[in-house]
């Protein structure tokens, strides 16, 4: 056994991080356009105004994907490029760009996977309250239905929202991401409920208007938990740790179950209802029915995790990392075990096919004197993680595909261009692209369906 014969090997990006053309061809402002204009918000004043200029260079980028043997490409649509005001009039030039991108992918035999919301909230909707406004359930679902109707003859796989843990937690609690606010905790729970309702309404409307049967999922994230040993008690401790809500109210969004239980189980987790009870909005049975619309797969963005053991008190405890523990250029721990135990526990709880929708690392990549980019540390990282994912697949976890983050170096949110996650190096002065060593290595992984891992 190994990976499935129809396993999808992919790459992932998001609109604001690569497209550029932020104020061209009728695109409306989104919250990141505004955020990047604020002094001190983004590293060295960087912005996504030009980014990788993918808007003008997408054909070149698709050709590079084809050269790497990529089978699936997960990208997001910038809501404000299609609807400059979030609702109402369609921007035909923006829509044309996405049609041409999808056509180019299909011609290259690369399956398009559309993410409807990767944090590009139209600024005009933000001014109306954004995720605080109950009307966003209709705003988002109408936009989602439009995209489904427009593209479902060519695209079968759609993700509704990407990482609500981040765009609510980092956007409205810590304020390090757009729109850069620190709002009352109560407000974040209301926004989270609206996000889940918008997801459910989108699923419902998309299925109604699609030109053929489509497959819909969601792409949350979270720090995974893996056991300190194979002892049953440590495995149970890791399971408990992953599936408990976060007791830190100032960081509560960073958990799995508050976002996924309502979708797959039709209810919020009991420990969260107890712990957060003083901050919760009204949540009706009708709301929960809407949120729990059946979906076809579960996307999960996984980068790292915590080693967990069962404490003497019968509660999970985090094992301290040893001195000199390996970490990425961004300072994130290197924990390949999370790509076995994360999918294992998620599949066990939700019984849904899984796509790893993001996984990768930032490296200190430079162009060497031979004109190439030798990123052996990325290859080593991915080899370790993919071995664990392969092991999970062999142990019965229904894993349908893997999307590396990211296709190319890009605008890394509040870090600007300081971090490089791509398998393609981008010189932001010239927009020259160079496939890194990892890109050629990944081509071999794809060609052999991971057999050599």
Alpha helices, H only, 292-405: 338-350, 376-394
User: What are the angstrom distances between the C-alpha of 407 and each of 36, 85, 358?
Assistant: 23, 29, 11
Report the C-alpha gap between 128 and 260 in whole angstroms.
27
State the Cα–Cα distance between residues 390 and 1, nearest whole angstrom.
9
**How high is the mean pLDDT in each 10-residue block of the chain (453 residues)?**
93 98 98 97 98 98 98 98 98 98 98 98 98 98 98 98 98 98 98 99 98 98 97 98 96 98 98 98 98 98 98 97 98 98 98 98 98 98 98 98 98 98 98 98 98 95
Amino acid 80: pLDDT:
98
Burial category of 331 from C-beta neighbours within 10 Å (exposed 0-12, middle 13-18, buried 19 and up): exposed
**Backbone phi, psi, residue 446, to 5°:** -65, -45
CA distance 191 to 136: 10
Nearest CA to 420 among 366, 381, 362, 334? 362
Please tell me the predicted confidence (pLDDT) of residue 2: 85
Tokens of 44: 């060295």
> Which residues make beta-bridge pairs with 161?
117
Burial 200-237 (b: 16+ CB within 10 A, else e): bbbbebbbeebeeebebbbbbbbbbbbbbeeeeebbeb
Distance CA 335, CA 212 (A): 40
**Phi and psi torsions of 293, nearest 5°:** -55, 135
**Cβ distance 398 to 353 under 8 Å?**
yes
Integer Rg of the chain from CA? 21
pLDDT at 13: 98
CA distance linking residue 388 with residue 343, whole number of Å: 10
Phi-psi region of 371 (alpha: psi -120 to 50; beta: other; left: phi over 0): left
Q: What predicted TM-score, i.e. pTM, was given to this entire model?
A: 0.98
Q: Which one of the listed residues 120, 124, 150, 163 is annotated catalytic?
A: 163
Q: Give the Cα separation of 75 and 181 in Å (integer).
A: 26
pLDDT tens, residue by residue, 196-214: 999 999 999 999 999 999 9
Neighbours of 98 (CB within 10 A): 22
Distance CA 311, CA 317 (A): 6
Q: What is the pLDDT of residues 385-403, one digit of tens each?
A: 999 999 999 999 999 999 9
Could you say which of 19, 104, 120, 358 is catalytic? 358
Is residue 163 part of the annotated active site? The answer reads yes
Q: Give me 323's structure tokens.
A: 């001195």
Buried b (16+ CB within 10 A) or exposed e, 34-51: bbbeeeebbeeebbbbbb
The label of the residue with tokens 């697949």 reads: 393
pLDDT of residue 98: 99
**Cβ(182)–Cβ(237) below 8 Å:** no
Residue that is written with structure tokens 């508050």 in the block: 258
* Whole-angstrom distance, CA of residue 441 vs CA of residue 241: 35
Coil vs helix vs strand at 189: helix
Which residues, 6+ apart, have CB-to-CB distance to 11 below 8 Å?
A: 65, 68, 70, 72, 73, 74, 403, 404, 406, 407, 423
């Amino acid at each position: 056994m190994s990976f499935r014969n129809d396993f999808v090997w992919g790459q992932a990006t998001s609109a604001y991080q690569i497209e550029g053309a932020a104020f061209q061809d009728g695109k409306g402002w989104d919250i990141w356009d505004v955020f990047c204009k604020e002094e001190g918000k983004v590293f060295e004043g960087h912005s996504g105004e030009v980014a990788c200029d993918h808007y003008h260079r997408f054909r070149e980028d698709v050709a590079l994907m084809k050269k790497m043997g990529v089978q699936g490409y997960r990208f997001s649509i910038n809501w404000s490029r299609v609807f400059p005001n979030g609702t109402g009039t369609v921007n035909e030039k923006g829509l044309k760009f996405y049609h041409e991108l999808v056509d180019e992918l299909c011609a290259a035999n690369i399956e398009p996977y559309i993410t409807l919301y990767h944090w590009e909230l139209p600024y005009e909707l933000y001014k109306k309250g954004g995720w605080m406004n109950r009307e966003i359930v209709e705003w988002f679902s109408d936009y989602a239905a439009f995209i489904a109707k427009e593209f479902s003859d060519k695209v079968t796989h759609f993700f509704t929202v990407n990482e609500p843990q981040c765009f609510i937690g980092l956007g409205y609690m810590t304020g390090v991401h757009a729109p850069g606010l620190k709002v009352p905790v109560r407000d974040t729970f209301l926004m989270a409920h609206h996000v889940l309702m918008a997801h459910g309404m989108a699923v419902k409307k998309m299925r109604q208007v699609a030109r053929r049967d489509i497959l819909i999922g969601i792409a949350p994230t979270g720090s995974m938990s893996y056991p300190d040993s194979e002892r049953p008690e440590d495995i149970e401790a890791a399971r408990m740790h992953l599936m408990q809500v976060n007791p830190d109210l100032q960081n509560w969004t960073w958990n799995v179950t508050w976002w996924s239980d309502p979708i797959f189980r039709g209810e919020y987790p009991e420990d969260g209802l107890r712990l957060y009870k003083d901050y919760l909005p009204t949540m009706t049975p009708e709301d929960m029915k809407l949120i729990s619309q059946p979906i076809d797969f579960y996307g999960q963005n996984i980068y790292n995790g915590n080693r967990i053991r069962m404490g003497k008190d019968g509660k999970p405890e985090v094992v301290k990392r040893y001195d000199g523990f390996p970490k990425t250029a961004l300072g994130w721990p290197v924990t390949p075990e999370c790509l076995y135990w994360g999918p294992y526990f998620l599949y066990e709880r939700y019984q849904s096919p899984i796509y790893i929708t993001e996984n990768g690392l930032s490296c200190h990549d430079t162009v060497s004197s031979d004109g190439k980019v030798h990123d052996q540390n990325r290859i080593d990282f991915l080899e370790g993680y993919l071995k664990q994912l392969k092991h999970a697949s062999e142990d019965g976890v229904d894993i349908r595909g893997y999307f590396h983050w990211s296709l190319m170096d890009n605008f890394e949110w509040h870090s600007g261009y300081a971090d490089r996650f791509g398998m393609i190096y981008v010189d932001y002065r010239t927009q020259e692209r160079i496939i890194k060593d990892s890109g050629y290595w990944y081509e071999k992984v794809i060609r052999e369906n991971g057999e050599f891992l």
